[in-house]
Amino acid sequence: ISLLSQLKDAEHSRLLIFSDMLENSKGKFSMYSQCNLPKQELITYYRTSVGTALARPSFANLHVELHLIPRENTRQQIVECRNFFWSWFFGDMTGDSKLITFELPGS
């Protein structure tokens, strides 16, 4: 999505995401199994798991709203890992609209 001209060329854009954001790709990267790693190792593991794909997008003038949907019985360690990971993932943003909003309904 970061490569779409509608976002790359826009003066201001907004991306709304509604999800639990608990990445769980079978055979690749899973927050359920990798969140026991130290933070830097987690990022290294993720970068390795996506191979040559763009590991971290670069957005300009984009306001991202992450509306996190809580999942019952999620360990606190996983929640903290999720918050760290997605803050890092969206952390390469520039311009006026680089704010990330975490909204945790029901938590």
Overall pTM surpassing 0.85 (yes/no): no
Of the candidates 95, 100, 80, 96, the residue with the CA atom closest to the CA atom of residue 39: 80
CA 84 to chain centre: 8
What pLDDT does 52 receive?
60
Of the candidates 54, 28, 48, 40, the residue with the CA atom closest to the CA atom of residue 88: 40
Average the pLDDT over 64-87 and give the result.
87
User: For residues 63 and 61, what is the distance between their CA atoms, to the nearest angstrom?
Assistant: 7
Least-confidence region, from 15-19, 58-62, 84-88, 94-98: 94-98
Of the candidates 41, 38, 39, the residue with the CA atom closest to the CA atom of residue 49: 41
